[in-house]
Structure 1
């Protein structure tokens, strides 16, 4: 089975559409959380993900759409969440609130979380992937996001994958990131695709979101 993995879309519709157009044929598509936040197209991205993803877990931005002041000290995150709270319908916000924080895919073979499997919101960077080994006794692998850094590793024949961020990469490559999981070989193919950042930046300015949010897209950091 081949499963498309996407994460951290962050309301960036042009990046999401570029990923979906570039993605080869897969058996299903899985979203690793943070559909909204930062960028100015939350409603469109929620609609798109609800229509195509077989499984979606809840990211920290998805969870805090009703409480944007939780990110008061982070201007970009706070502004994006306030914008999303107003732009999303009641039904869309309810959907985000009811997403699971943890689940499994591929008949229970792979654990799916947004951040750390036990400590919610903890960042797990590539160098820390070996620390996740104790959580993998019952699984062939673990899929996570949150850091916006694309990486995969095999530890004791267990696969750990962060597909990277669709809508706000932070690993020095500004192209939208995603991955393809092959459950037959227990391997992941990491992929990148360019998209129209100028279009997103224009909408950020039009919607009076922080310009730093747009500038970050060009930097990929």
Structure 2
């Protein structure tokens, strides 16, 4: 079974379209959260996940929209949440509100969380990957750091597919991964997309200039 793994789309429709166009035929897709936030297309990205019926968990930006709490200390993040609240209708916000913090898929073989198995807000960078993160699942999928990495242990695989819409590992291309559950292998993928068009739309809708500038550097 071949699974396409997404995370941290962050309302970047152009990057998401590029990833979906690049992705080979898969048996299923999953998403490790943060469908919305930062970028200008929260509604379109929610609709894409819903139209493909992608099993998705709640990221911290998704939660901030649902709870209308924002990010007081981070102007870019806070602006993205406020923008999403302005453009998302009740139906889309209800979908976000229904996302769980953790979910198992494919007969329990895959567990999806956003930050850490024990804490959805904890950043789990590749240096912290270990077999101790795994439970009964064969593959643990995490997001939140926007850093693409995976490691295989005797007990299974720990994977972060990276960020579709706002990479932070120094590589500006959109990130995703493919997991072959039969072979127990991971393919990390990167895709170029039209960053300048995203920046133009960020400026057009009044989101912070820095939100677009960071996309050029993958930071």
Q: Does 1:139 align with 2:137?
A: yes
Partner of 1:38: 38
Partner of 1:151: 149
> Alpha carbons of 1:14 and 1:96: their partners in 2 closer, same or farther (altered >3 Å)?
same
Judge conservation of contact 1:149–1:171 (CA < 8 Å) in 2: yes
1:141 to partner: Cα distance: 1.7
1:32 to partner: Cα distance: 1.0
- 1: CA distance, partners of 2:42 / 2:9: 9
> Alpha carbons of 1:54 and 1:67: their partners in 2 closer, same or farther (altered >3 Å)?
closer
DSSP 3-state at the match of 2:65: coil
Deviations along 1:115-144, one digit per CA (max 9) or x if unpaired, are: 1011120000000001xx234241112011
Partner of 1:101: 101
1:70 to partner: Cα distance: 3.8
Give structure 1 regions of 4+ aligned residues with deviation exceeding 6 angstroms.
none
Judge conservation of contact 2:66–2:96 (CA < 8 Å) in 1: no
1:68 to partner: Cα distance: 4.5
The more displaced of 182-191 and 63-72 is 63-72
- 2: CA distance, partners of 1:53 / 1:217: 28
- 2: CA distance, partners of 1:140 / 1:94: 31
- 2: CA distance, partners of 1:187 / 1:82: 39
- 1: CA distance, partners of 2:199 / 2:140: 33
> Alpha carbons of 1:74 and 1:68: their partners in 2 closer, same or farther (altered >3 Å)?
farther
Judge conservation of contact 2:148–2:188 (CA < 8 Å) in 1: yes
> Alpha carbons of 1:125 and 1:186: their partners in 2 closer, same or farther (altered >3 Å)?
same
Judge conservation of contact 1:28–1:53 (CA < 8 Å) in 2: no
- 2: CA distance, partners of 1:37 / 1:59: 10
Deviations along 1:76-133, one digit per CA (max 9) or x if unpaired, are: 0000000001110100001101101101112111111011011120000000001xx2
> Alpha carbons of 1:171 and 1:53: their partners in 2 closer, same or farther (altered >3 Å)?
farther
DSSP 3-state at the match of 1:111: strand
- 1: CA distance, partners of 2:111 / 2:8: 17
DSSP 3-state at the match of 2:144: coil
1:33 to partner: Cα distance: 0.6
- 1: CA distance, partners of 2:54 / 2:202: 29
- 1: CA distance, partners of 2:70 / 2:198: 25
Alignment gaps of 5+ in structure 1: none
The more displaced of 104-113 and 158-167 is 104-113
Alignment gaps of 5+ in structure 2: none
Partner of 1:215: 213
DSSP 3-state at the match of 1:65: helix
1:185 to partner: Cα distance: 1.2
> Alpha carbons of 1:57 and 1:35: their partners in 2 closer, same or farther (altered >3 Å)?
same
